[in-house]
Every structure is written in structure tokens, then in C-alpha cells.
């Protein structure tokens, strides 16, 4: 904490210094290529003749020359093979930007083709920051150019550069203002996209490499044009299009995980890898035949080195058609080592001190973008994104002979337990979108989108062995429940159709300025979403005729027991559970209207959305009582209003206010009561009685843009959540987690501070520039723990250990994000970024009483995920026009990721904090090479 306070003090000092540096101006603008119909002209030279100060245009043709003394100058533009253009009498004004927009071509441009204007905005190089400044809602974005500059490789990492946003190293979830997965909504080009993991609502943003991203934006306040199923914000990824007339780019990257380095010759993968080819898995035989036709023992991976290959190619055909294709394939290895302990009713039940996880992940991503411009007023864009994620996991615990599964053997037998769980998960996403933009008239713009998403999420062959072990040479097959030796499969298929249409009509007359005309408008439209899921799970267990019929000779040779002859003789028997099924459907209709009035320093936006959500889940699962309804049908019809007010006291600042009402719908997996068993034996099951949460959201924000490309902002926010959804330890078994509306309401207050500053802006191209970005969030959050009655009859309580209030599950009190970026703008640029992140402790799962009427004595306390710091270093260097090199050091501190629980054993009555799960993920060091043709 002391270090963060020191950093904050330095940042505030630099703010003071920068505030005094408003005596200079900026020349900025955009260069276009006259030879290819005005496309952006990158890498052109821009020089101020009187000072020899210069720069080059970026990939979008944008350039900026900062910190120029007021006066009149001549600006020269040049590019190899093009005529040089010199613009005289360009006036620079203190604290303002003089925009010079022009084009270059093979023949000299006329000076009347040059547009020069002096504006009071700050630096057109950072167009997204200007968009934030002028946006109606509280929205923050980061673009591809800035991402490349600081070495960000994917959308997930990109979001953490935005204030109040962090990612959990333990869960992989993105948290906005301390609120995690269920409170977010993710879209691609404005249309909803599915998750790659059925355990989550939102897709893993790490699957979106920077090369497919135009920008990533987070709207922290609600806009009625989006679904109301959100509380902390909407993340929208805007896919990129072809820039210029053609593009061809190749890249490779190799690296190693420092944890994997110690397992290089013994990195384990499951036998399912025999059926995996180039990152794709194909199950060749039905799951029941694998009991004796496939190995039960892990294999060893060859050369567990991380690698990634990428290709981007694009071309413009004629004057109207642009095509862009980008594809990549990667393989990464991860090894975790730690401990696991499970407590029930404050007493230790299961524990392992030598938990090991081996994970190999293959990602294959391809995106095709086709843009056709009929004319200046009409265009259609088609986007198709395919992602195949193959994750192979081998889990082992108890090899040291010290592991204990409480129900398996008694202490007098002198046996402990060894558990191995091997699984391969294949998730295939195919996202298809068609968008249209039509300028019907000068005051009427129509936008529409249509999408179809397909997801196949399969676990084709999960292998699990639980054996009793004396730590030396005696191995006994575990048989508790009859499924200790088992193979299982799970298949999920999601189909989704979605669409939206939005029409904007602007008002005004020719006597008003263009800015005033565009700020008086009405938006109206609608959206539709239909998502369906089919789920099936099958379990096959193997038991002996008699205990100790077979005793494997080694933990690594269990397959010697499961051979066809032992099944034929009857010494081994197969048990099959009745398959588990559930079918789910989400249908959502929405219509919205937005009225906007902007005049002079004020902008007021009033909107509302009517949304009808129907959520239906039919199920047939073994663990659910047959006398209860085998379905859950929910319907919500609500109007969700919003108001956004912006007051700009001057050209460099905004004061904003926002208020809205939204909803948080349960997910399919939170309702269907299927029990998913983790590798550690903990069970997560859905709750058919779960209800949606209703949210009230309020924000007040002050923004200051002290100089070009810089920002200082302070935001206060409040959220009230009715019937908050929580992951809770179910009563009677700490090893079972479920989802409940555990409280009547939750209240969240928060503050956000954000700064982006140019500490050193060197005029010389070879000189170093220093940029600092920092944001911090502080949250206060609390929810009640309710007691449930049917009339006057007591049903159950969520209170435990004398607690009637608790924090919100998944929310951190403190979030810090910071980066220091050093760069040169020379002919061969050098860039280095040091990026840090910290999120404080958060509740992983709420506790629960063991005895409903004695919850202050018999209970399981909440499980806390401890806070930790992550640190990344990215260094890149360009050599010439074609070659680029990059070094990445990710998770350099390799912190211990730990979950803890307060335990008060009945034997002592003294409460103490105990670790229930811990591991490290390892630092990842990699080197990449890129070649652009």
C-alpha cells in the first residue's frame, strides 16, 4: 500500500507540472493517399521547417507535433515516391491544436486541397480519448494503435488498461468496479456473443488477439440500445477492417512458463491427446468402449514450449470491396503446484499437500471481414469469427502418500488417497454477423445488424481414478459410491440468433452550427435474441467383484487393471448412471427510444427500453428429487429507463451524471441442478428457484483533459442490487456450492481515480518519451443475509457465525492498475511498458450454516480469495520497414494465488485462518518476431 501511495503522490506532482505547461500548442491532422481514393497514408514524414522538429503519420494516417511555441511555421509533408508538399503560414496558438489535413500523391497537391483549422480540443492522435470526451454516456475505450504501443496482445488485457477494471488471475474473470462475470455484458460490433466456457456468462477476452481488434470499449453506464442484462457495464469489441489497399503480415512467438521449466521432461497430458490433431480433437469411439480400449494413464508432452503463429492478409478490390483475413494458432503450457483442504462444520475433512495441475491449451482463431461500399451513403459489412479452444488437463494429488479423502478409508487401515483426474475440453465458437449502415438523408441514419452464433462445448472423455495408497507399494482401487474409477462425457450445443435495428433522426436548421444540429436527435429501434442449449452428461464407473481383486503395481500403470479380459471374466463390472439432460431457452425482445438535447455547454439524454425476457429450463438429472417439478420457467417484463447529463464548464472538462435501472438474469448453468464435480471433488450445482436481480445505478464523474492525450478523472458511483445472486456453500456439505438469492439487497458505493499523463515528451525523434497511466478504485459493499419463511413457518437461513451482513461475492475493496511506458519515435521505434495490477481480497463463496437453527455454532465460514499483485513487461523494437521484435515477461512476480477460510474447531474453540487452496501459475517469458510485407 505504501508503494501505491508513493506512486499516487508522484502522479499528483506530475499533474501539477503538466498544468503549468499550457503555454505551447500542437499541430495535428490526418494524411490521406491521393493515389488510392483518399485512404489513410501511414509512415509519411512531417517536419516543421523552422525547428527541424518532425514525426511520422501512424497506421491511420494520423500525426501530431506537440509542445510547439506559439508562432507561424511552414510544415512539410513527404513520402517516398510522392511529391513533397509544403504548407506555409501555419499558426500555432497556446493551449490549442492547429489541424492540418491534406493528401499526398504522385503529382503535387494544390494548396486549396489543404484544410487548416485551429480547434480547442486536445490532440487528434488520440481519437478515442476525444470520443470519450464528447460521448453522451460514461464510456471509456482503448484502440488498436494504443494497444500496439504498450504491447497488449489481446482484448482481455486491453480492458485492464481502463479505470476500475481488473482481471482475476485465479478465475480469469473480468471485474468492472469490483463486479464480476454475471454483472457484465459482452458484444462484438454491438451484437451479443456467447461464452467459450459454460461456467461463465462472458467469453474469455484473451481469445481476441489485438490483430482482430479495432477498439475495446466499456460503457459503465447503461444505454437503452443495449440489453438491460448488466449492472457494471457493457464491453464492446469492435473488429478491425482493412486499412489501405492491401496488407500482408506474418508473426511467430516462442516462450516458456517458468513453472513448466522444472517439468520439461515430465509434463503430463491425458491419453485423449492420441485423438488430437493440430489443436482439434475427434473422439473415435463411444465413451463406454474407452473403458477397456483406451489408456487410463497420462502421457508425456513433447517439448512443452509456448508458441504462436499468426497471419494477416487483406486486399481492396476495385473501389468498393475490402477483404481482410486474420488467423492464428497458439499452444501454451501451464503447471500449478500447491495444496487443497476442505473443511466441513469447522473440521478438516479432505486435504492434499501436493496438488499438481498440468494444462495444455491450443487456440485456433480465424476472422474474415468483408466490407462493401455501394456509395458514400450505404455500406454492408460481413464478419465471421471462428475460435477453437482445446484444453487438456491432468490433475494429481496424494502422490506423496499424505492425501486424505474423509469418506474413503478409516484411520486404522493405514491408507491414504491418491486422485488423478484427466480431461480434455473442446469449445468451438462460430460467430457470424452482417451489419448495414445507411444514410437515408442528411438527417436520418439507419444501422442494423444480424447475427448467428454456434457453440459446441464438449468434454468427450473425462478420466478419473481415486485409489487408496500407503505411500510405498500397496495400491487399492477405491470403491466408495461405485464411481471412483470412471469415465464420463459431457456435450453442450448452443444456437443463437440475434438482431438489432437503430434509426437516428437529427433535428435543426441550416442556420445552426453542424455540432448543435447533430446534438439534437432521437434514436429508436429494437433488438431480438433467441438462445437455445442442449446438454447431456453420461457416467460409466468400474468396480471390482471383490475388494483387492486387483492391486496395480504403480500409480502410473493403472491401465494394467482395465483390460478386456478382466471385464469378460466378471472381475470388473461396469456401472452406468442414467444420463443427465437439460434443455434451456432464453428469448429476449427489446424496444428502445433515446432523446438527446445538446446545446452550448449542456447535453441531456433521456432514454428507456422495454425488454421481455423468457428463461425456460427443462431438466432430468439424477441428483434432483423426482417429486419436484423438473423445470424452471421465468419471465420478466420491465421498462428500463436511463438518464445521462453532461455539463462542460469549459473546453477541457466535463461533469457527468447518470442514472439507470437494469436487470441481472440467471445463467443456464445457475438454474439447471446438474452437479459438476471439480478435480478436487467439490461440486457445483444449479438452483431452479433462483431469481433475477434488479439493479439501480447512479454515477457522477468529473473529467479534466489538461493537455493533448491526457486525462484526469474522478468518479463516484452507487449501485443497489435487489435479490443479489451469490455462489454459496450449500447447507449440509461444504463440498457443494450452489447459487442463491442469499440476501434481500446489496448496496455498493465506490470511487474511481484515473490519470493518463505525458511526463516527458521529447521533441527529438531519438529522445525518450515517458507516459504514465494509473487508476484506482475504492469500493464499499454490503448485503444482508436473509432468513426465509413460508408465512410464519421457518424454511431456511443464510446467516452463519452471527453474521447477518456480508460483502458482495466477487467484489474487491481496492483495485489498482498502472503502467509506465517508455518509447522513442525514431525511424526504428523502441517501446517498453511495465504494467501492474492489484485487486484486494474478495469473497470466493459465501458461507452457510450446517444446522439451520444453530448457525452461530455449526457453520462453514466464507471462502476468501486473497489479493495479489501482477506485473508484466513488454519491450518491442522495429528494424526497418518490415521487421519487428518483441519480448514479453508476463506474471513476472509469480504471486501465490490463495483461498483461505476462517475455521473454529470444536476441539479448541479458537478461530484461525486456514488455506483451502493455493498455487502459482508461473511467469511466462516469450520472444516474438513479426514481418510485414
Mean pLDDT, 10 residues at a time, the chain of 933 residues = 42 38 71 74 84 74 79 88 85 78 71 51 40 55 57 63 60 68 85 79 74 76 88 82 82 94 92 92 90 94 92 90 92 95 88 95 93 91 93 95 86 90 93 94 92 93 94 88 89 94 80 53 94 93 92 93 94 93 94 90 92 95 88 94 90 88 91 84 86 93 76 90 87 71 92 84 72 87 91 87 89 86 80 86 88 85 91 86 87 93 86 93 91 83
Q: Give the cell for residue 224.
A: 437503452
Task: Provide the mean pLDDT of the chain.
Answer: 84
- Decide: residue 236, CB within 10 A, 0-12 exposed, 13-18 middle, 19+ buried: buried
Per-residue DSSP letters for 131-162? HHHH-SS-EEEEEHHHHHHTT--BHHHHHTTS
- How far is CA 229 from its chain centroid? 17
Provide the pLDDT for residue 21.
40
pLDDT tens column, 239-258? 888 867 788 989 999 999 99
Helix (H, G, I), strand (E, B) or coil at 211: helix
pLDDT for the residue 20: 37
- β-bridge pairing 736-740 and 475-477: unpaired
Pairwise CA distance, residues 48 & 66, whole Å: 11
What pLDDT score does 108 carry? Answer: 54
Q: pLDDT value at position 115?
A: 55
Sign of CA dihedral 800, 803, 808, 811: negative
Q: Domain ranges in the chain?
A: 2-122, 248-932
**For residue 780, what is its C-alpha cell?**
464499499
CATH class of the domain at 248-932: mainly beta
| Per-residue CA distances from 225 to 141, 184, 448, 502, 523 (Å) | 18, 15, 12, 8, 9
Q: What is the pLDDT of residue 149?
A: 52
β-pairing, 268-269 vs 213-219, is: unpaired
> Rounded distance, CA 415 to CA 354, Å?
16
pLDDT at residue number 806? 93
- Specify the pLDDT at position 516: 45
For the whole model, what pTM was predicted?
Answer: 0.82
Q: Is the dihedral of CA 354, 842, 200, 538 positive or negative?
A: positive
| pLDDT given for residue 43 in this prediction | 76
What pLDDT does 512 receive?
45
Exposure b/e, 215-229, CB count within 10 A at least 16 = b:
bbbbbbbbbbbbbbb
pLDDT reported for residue 763: 63
Query: Regarding the domain with residue range 2-122, which homologous superfamily does it belong to in the CATH classification?
Result: Carboxypeptidase-like, regulatory domain (2.60.40.1120)
φ, ψ at 666 (rounded to 5°): -65, 155
Q: Which residue has the cell 425456460?
A: 616
Distance from the first to the final alpha carbon of the chain? 47
Pairing mode, strands 736-740 and 805-806: unpaired
pLDDT at residue number 371: 93
Strand-pair partners of 799:
none
- Tell the residue number behind the cell numbers 488510392, with chain if given: 36
Amino acid at each position: 500500500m505504501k508503494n501505491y501511495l508513493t506512486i499516487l503522490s508522484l502522479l499528483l506532482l506530475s499533474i501539477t507540472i503538466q498544468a503549468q505547461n499550457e503555454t505551447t500548442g500542437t499541430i495535428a491532422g490526418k494524411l490521406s493517399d491521393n493515389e488510392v481514393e483518399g485512404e489513410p497514408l501511414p509512415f509519411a514524414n512531417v517536419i516543421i521547417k523552422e525547428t527541424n522538429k518532425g514525426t511520422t503519420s501512424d497506421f491511420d494516417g494520423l500525426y501530431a507535433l506537440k509542445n510547439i511555441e506559439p508562432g507561424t511555421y511552414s510544415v512539410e509533408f513527404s513520402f517516398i515516391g510522392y511529391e513533397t508538399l509544403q504548407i506555409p503560414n501555419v499558426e500555432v496558438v497556446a493551449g490549442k491544436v492547429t489541424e492540418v489535413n491534406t493528401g499526398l500523391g504522385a503529382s503535387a497537391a494544390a494548396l486549396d486541397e489543404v484544410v487548416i483549422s485551429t480547434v480547442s480540443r486536445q490532440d487528434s492522435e488520440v481519437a478515442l480519448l476525444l470520443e470519450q470526451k464528447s460521448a453522451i454516456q460514461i464510456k471509456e475505450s482503448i484502440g488498436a494503435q494504443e494497444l500496439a504501443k504498450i504491447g497488449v496482445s489481446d482484448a482481455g488485457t486491453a480492458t485492464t488498461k481502463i479505470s476500475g477494471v481488473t482481471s482475476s488471475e485465479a478465475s480469469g474473470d473480468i471485474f468492472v468496479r469490483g463486479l464480476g462475470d454475471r454483472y457484465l455484458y459482452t458484444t462484438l460490433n454491438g451484437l451479443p456473443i456467447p461464452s467459450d466456457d459454460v461456467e461463465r456468462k462472458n467469453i474469455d477476452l484473451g481469445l481476441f488477439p489485438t490483430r482482430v481488434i479495432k477498439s475495446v470499449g466499456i460503457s459503465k453506464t447503461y444505454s437503452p440500445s443495449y440489453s438491460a442484462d448488466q449492472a457494471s457495464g457493457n464491453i464492446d469489441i469492435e473488429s478491425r477492417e482493412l486499412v489501405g489497399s492491401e496488407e500482408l503480415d506474418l508473426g511467430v512467438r516462442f516462450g516458456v512458463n517458468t513453472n513448466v521449466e522444472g517439468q520439461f521432461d515430465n509434463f503430463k497430458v491425458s491419453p485423449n491427446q492420441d485423438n488430437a490433431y493440430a489443436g482439434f480433437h475427434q473422439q473415435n469411439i463411444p465413451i463406454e468402449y474407452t473403458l477397456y480400449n483406451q489408456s487410463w494413464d497420462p502421457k508425456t508432452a513433447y517439448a512443452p514450449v509456448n508458441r504462436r503463429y499468426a497471419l494477416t492478409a487483406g486486399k481492396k478490390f476495385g473501389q468498393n470491396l475490402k477483404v481482410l483475413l486474420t488467423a492464428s494458432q497458439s499452444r501454451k503450457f501451464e503447471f500449478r503446484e500447491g495444496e487443497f483442504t476442505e473443511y466441513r462444520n469447522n473440521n478438516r475433512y479432505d486435504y492434499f499437500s501436493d496438488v499438481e495441475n498440468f494444462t495444455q491449451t491450443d487456440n485456433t482463431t480465424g476472422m474474415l471481414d468483408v466490407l462493401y461500399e455501394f456509395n458514400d451513403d450505404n455500406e454492408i459489412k460481413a464478419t465471421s469469427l471462428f475460435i477453437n479452444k482445446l484444453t487438456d488437463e491432468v490433475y494429481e494429488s496424494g502422490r506423496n502418500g499424505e492425501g486424505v479423502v474423509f469418506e474413503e478409508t478409516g484411520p486404522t487401515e493405514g491408507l491414504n488417497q491418491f486422485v488423478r483426474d484427466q480431461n480434455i475440453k473442446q469449445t468451438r465458437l462460430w460467430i457470424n454477423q452482417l451489419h448495414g449502415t445507411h444514410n437515408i438523408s442528411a438527417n436520418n441514419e439507419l444501422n442494423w445488424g444480424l447475427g448467428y452464433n454456434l457453440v459446441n462445448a464438449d468434454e468427450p472423455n473425462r478420466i478419473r481414478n481415486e485409489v487408496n495408497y500407503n505411500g510405498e507399494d500397496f495400491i487399492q482401487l477405491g470403491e466408495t459410491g461405485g464411481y471412483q474409477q470412471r469415465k464420463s462425457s459431457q456435450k453442450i450445443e448452443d444456437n443463437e440468433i440475434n438482431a438489432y435495428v437503430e434509426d437516428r433522426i437529427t433535428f435543426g436548421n441550416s442556420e445552426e452550427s453542424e455540432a448543435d444540429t447533430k446534438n439534437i436527435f432521437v434514436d429508436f429501434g429494437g433488438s431480438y435474441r433467441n438462445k437455445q442449449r442442449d446438454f447431456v452428461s453420461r457416467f460409466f464407473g468400474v468396480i471390482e467383484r471383490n475388494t483387492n481383486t486387483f492391486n496395480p503395481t504403480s500409480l502410473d500403470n493403472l491401465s494394467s487393471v482395465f483390460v478386456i479380459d478382466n471385464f469378460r471374466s466378471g472381475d470388473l463390472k461396469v456401472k452406468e448412471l442414467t444420463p443427465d439432460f437439460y434443455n434451456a431457452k432464453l428469448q429476449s425482445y427489446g424496444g428502445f427510444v433515446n432523446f438527446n438535447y445538446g446545446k452550448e455547454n449542456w447535453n441531456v439524454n433521456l432514454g428507456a427500453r422495454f425488454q421481455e425476457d423468457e428463461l425456460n429450463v427443462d431438466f432430468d438429472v439424477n441428483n434432483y428429487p423426482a417429486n419436484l417439478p423438473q423445470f424452471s420457467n421465468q419471465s420478466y417484463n420491465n421498462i428500463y429507463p436511463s438518464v445521462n447529463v453532461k455539463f462542460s464548464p469549459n473546453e477541457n472538462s466535463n461533469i457527468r451524471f447518470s442514472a439507470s435501472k437494469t436487470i441481472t438474469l440467471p445463467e443456464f448453468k445457475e438454474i439447471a441442478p446438474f452437479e459438476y464435480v471439480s478435480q478436487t471433488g467439490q461440486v457445483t450445482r444449479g438452483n431452479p428457484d433462483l431469481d433475477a436481480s434488479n439493479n439501480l445505478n447512479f454515477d457522477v464523474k468529473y473529467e479534466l483533459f489538461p493537455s493533448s492525450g491526457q486525462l484526469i478523472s474522478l468518479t463516484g458511483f452507487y449501485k443497489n442490487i435487489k435479490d443479489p445472486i451469490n455462489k454459496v456453500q450449500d447447507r449440509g456439505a461444504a463440498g457443494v456450492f450452489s447459487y442463491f438469492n442469499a440476501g434481500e439487497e446489496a448496496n455498493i458505493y465506490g470511487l474511481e481515480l484515473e490519470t493518463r499523463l505525458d511526463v516527458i515528451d521529447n521533441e527529438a525523434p531519438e529522445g525518450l518519451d515517458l507516459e504514465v497511466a494509473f487508476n484506482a478504485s475504492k469500493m464499499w459493499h454490503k448485503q444482508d443475509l436473509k432468513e426465509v419463511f413460508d408465512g410464519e413457518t421457518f424454511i431456511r437461513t443464510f446467516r452463519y457465525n452471527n453474521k447477518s451482513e456480508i460483502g458482495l461475492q466477487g467484489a474487491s475493496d481496492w483495485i489498482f492498475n498502472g503502467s509506465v511506458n517508455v518509447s522513442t519515435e525514431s525511424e526504428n521505434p523502441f517501446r517498453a511498458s511495465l504494467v501492474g495490477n492489484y485487486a484486494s481480497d474478495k469473497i470466493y463463496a459465501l458461507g452457510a450454516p450446517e444446522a439451520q437453527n444453530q448457525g452461530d455454532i455449526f457453520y462453514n465460514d466464507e471462502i476468501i480469495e486473497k489479493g495479489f499483485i501482477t506485473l508484466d513487461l513488454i519491450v518491442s523494437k522495429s528494424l526497418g520497414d518490415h521487421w519487428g521484435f518483441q519480448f514479453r515477461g508476463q506474471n513476472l512476480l509469480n504471486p501465490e494465488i490463495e483461498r483461505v477460510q476462517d475455521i473454529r474447531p470444536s476441539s479448541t474453540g479458537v478461530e484461525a485462518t486456514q488455506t483451502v487452496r493455493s498455487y502459482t501459475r508461473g511467469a511466462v517469458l516469450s520472444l516474438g518476431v513479426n514481418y510485414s510485407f
